[in-house]
Amino acid sequence: MALEPKEESDTIKLGIPQSTDASAVHLLIQNSPPLDTNSLYCNLLQTSHFAKTAIVAKMNNDVVGFVSGYIKPEQPDTYFLWQVVVGEAARGRGLAKRMITALFQRDHFANVRWLETTITPDNKASQRLFESLAEGWQAHIDVRVLFEKEAHFAGQHESEELYRIGPVNP
């Protein structure tokens, strides 16, 4: 794991993930409802081709947090955050916020001004996380439905609301 330039003072270390982290990431997501599990192959792509736009948190070499996402191909000023997960034991100490903030401090994010993610209306923890980030950045949040329950999920999944936050200046 390549460490972030500014290593945090406690024992949780943040870094650019490697493909060998994918199976632990897969397990962490599996154990973190209400997140949708993706295939392990998908996690392999996130931790290899998309590693610069992902971040892993490790405590004693165990994966305890992960953020995946990508810079939108047609909108290079916008980072789309796919999933954020923190293992139960590491929650409530600011790790999710730390990981997202560290991503935006990378050179790779120099031209990124907007953060987008989707959240289901019942996910209060995630809503609070992104509201808190926006407050810290003194940025606005726009919310609109991106993927609708019936039209996109054939009624099998709640609607996903798009949160667009910015301009971001961490």
Ligand X SMILES: CC(C)(COP(=O)(O)OP(=O)(O)OC[C@H]1O[C@@H](n2cnc3c(N)ncnc32)[C@H](O)[C@@H]1OP(=O)(O)O)[C@@H](O)C(=O)NCCC(=O)NCCS
- Which residues contact ligand X by CB under 6 A? 32, 34-35, 83-86, 91-97, 123-126, 128-129, 132
Rounded to a whole number of angstroms, the distance between the first and last alpha carbons of the chain is 24
- Shortest distance in whole angstroms from residue 137 CB to ligand X: 12
Count CB neighbours of 80 within 10 A. 19
Q: How far is the CB of 99 from ligand X (least distance, A)?
A: 8
CB of 94: closest distance to ligand X in angstroms?
A: 4
Nearer to ligand X, 9 or 111 (CB): 9
DSSP letter assigned to residue 49: T
Helices (H), 11-168: 22-30, 40-46, 95-104, 124-137, 149-153
CB closer to ligand X, 136 vs 167: 136
What tokens appear for 68 in the block?
Answer: 């995946």
For ligand X, give the closer residue by CB, 6 or 107: 6
